[in-house]
Amino acid sequence: MRVPSVVTIAGVDPSGGAGVLADVKAISAQRAYACAVVTALTAQNTQAVAGIQAVPPAFVREQIDVLFADVVIDAAKIGMLGGRAVIEAVALGLQRWAPCHIVLDPVMVAKSGDALLARDAAGALRDALLPLATVITPNLPEAGVLLEGRAPDSLREMRQTAERLRERMAHAGQRWVLLKGGHLPYGDAIDLLTDGDKMIELASPRVATKNTHGTGCTLSSALAALLPQVSDVPEAARRAKAYLTKAIESADLLNVGKGHGPVHHFHAMWR
101 alpha carbon, distance to own chain's centre: 13
Which residues, other chains included, contact 34 with Cβ-Cβ below 8 Å and sequence gap of 6+?
Answer: 6, 7, 8, 23, 24, 27, 28, 225
Catalytic residue among 8, 137, 215, 218: 215
CB 123 within 8 A of CB 157: no
Catalytic annotation present for 246: no
Catalytic residue among 217, 218, 241, 245: 217
Output the furthest CA–CA distance in the chain (Å, rounded).
47
Catalytic residue among 180, 181, 194, 241: 180
Catalytic residue among 19, 216, 218, 261: 216
Closest CA to 244 of 224, 214, 208, 269: 214
Catalytic annotation present for 137: no
Catalytic annotation present for 134: no
Catalytic annotation present for 214: yes
Instruction: Give the count of beta carbons closer than 10 Å to the beta carbon of residue 96.
Output: 11
Q: What does the DSSP assignment read for 67-106?
A: HHHHS---EEEE----SHHHHHHHHHHHHHH--SEEEE--
Catalytic residue among 214, 241, 245, 261: 214
Catalytic annotation present for 79: no
Catalytic annotation present for 209: no
**Which residues are known catalytic residues?**
180, 212, 214-217
